[in-house]
Amino acid sequence: MKPPRFKYIAPRSPEEAVEYLARYEGDARCLSGGQSLLPLMNFRVVRPQALIDLNRCGNLDYLRREDDRLIVGPMTTQSAAEHSELVRACCPLLSKTLPYLGPPTIRNRGTIGGTLAHADRNAELPAVAVVLEAELIAQGPQGLRTIAADEFFHGDLTTDLRADEMLREIRFPVSQRRSICAFVEANNRHHDLALAGIAVFLLLDNDSVVEKARLSCIGIGPRPIRLKGVEQILCGTRADNAAIEYAQRFSLDGIEPEGDIHASAEYRRTLLPRLVRRALEGAVADGPKQ
């Protein structure tokens, strides 16, 4: 299939892109890598009047550290971030997750900002942003606005971005020493759509006791879902086998998985506790960030 007719716009700056977004009053979409948006347009799931191509906007692909933050430009490709030593040093969870985002051809074109702004329920990076307590910076006609990751994702393909705003920057806190993390997911074939996935981040004190725990799952509902019950169970433990087994047992507390054409709700209900265990065991096995 081919998409319906649309106007192609190639602004030279974020400010110009925002002007066009405001002009079309919700009937325009930003194009970054195009790995998700273009298929939706081909199937006519979305029908924007205008497509605003951000690839000619300068200075939107960057990675740098500012104090205790890893600053990521929205047009930074997934592949560039995946192979970045800076990302590996500052945010190991992000580095570990990026290889799951699809085959190299997808990661070479797909962007960090694009997958976050797209907000697919099965996308991996929204869960990472929530777990790491990232800040997403929106740019609109009135300037910049900071949105916490927990508040950014409203539902499937729906975010806190307003019709006249674009995602301008992503800020990840630099992971502290003595933190451990992991990402795992299940799919039918390698690099297929995730049926479910878990991102985990644990901060340990000097005695290797869990001081802070954050876990988020994808594929279970319309947005990344925090496993707050598991987080509470893990805090104050050493994340040993007994604690992990207990956390696995209660991982479905307050969670009601949804089914779709890819997997039934019952299958995901069986799958989620096993992924929680795998993620926690993987985090512990890898050891803390030095």
**Residue 44: CATH number of its domain:** 3.30.43.10
- In three-state secondary structure terms, 106 is helix
What is the pLDDT at residue 58? 85
The mean per-residue pLDDT over the stretch 75-99 comes to 98
Q: Does 48 share its domain with 86?
A: no
Q: Mind listing the pLDDT tens digit for each residue in 107-138?
A: 999 999 999 999 999 999 999 999 999 999 99
**Helices and strands (H, E) in the chain, number of each type:** 12, 14
On the question of pLDDT at 153 being above 90, the answer is yes
Domain of 143 in residue numbering reads as: 63-173
48 within a domain of the structure (yes/no): yes
140 within a domain of the structure (yes/no): yes
What is the pLDDT at residue 192? 85
C-beta of residue 183 within 8 angstroms of C-beta of residue 197: yes
% of the chain residues with pLDDT over 90: 92
Q: Which of 41, 56, 71 is the last residue of a domain?
A: 56
Q: Does 73 share its domain with 168?
A: yes
On the question of pLDDT at 193 being above 90, the answer is no
Q: Does 210 share its domain with 249?
A: yes
159 within a domain of the structure (yes/no): yes
On the question of pLDDT at 191 being above 90, the answer is no
The mean per-residue pLDDT over the stretch 138-149 comes to 98
Q: Does 212 share its domain with 167?
A: no
What is the pLDDT at residue 289? 67
Say whether pTM exceeds 0.75: yes
Q: Does 46 share its domain with 118?
A: no
% of the chain residues with pLDDT over 70: 99
Number of domains in the chain: 3
Q: Does 16 share its domain with 84?
A: no
Q: Mind listing the pLDDT tens digit for each residue in 26-65?
A: 999 999 999 899 999 999 999 999 999 999 998 999 999 9
The rounded distance, in Å, linking the Cα atoms of 119 and 277 is 26
1 within a domain of the structure (yes/no): no
C-beta of residue 250 within 8 angstroms of C-beta of residue 231: no
Which amino acid appears at position 94 of this protein?
L
Q: Which of 34, 56, 78 is the last residue of a domain?
A: 56
On the question of pLDDT at 1 being above 80, the answer is no
**Residue 276: CATH number of its domain:** 3.30.390.50
- Which residue has 């430009």 as its token pair? 73
2 within a domain of the structure (yes/no): no
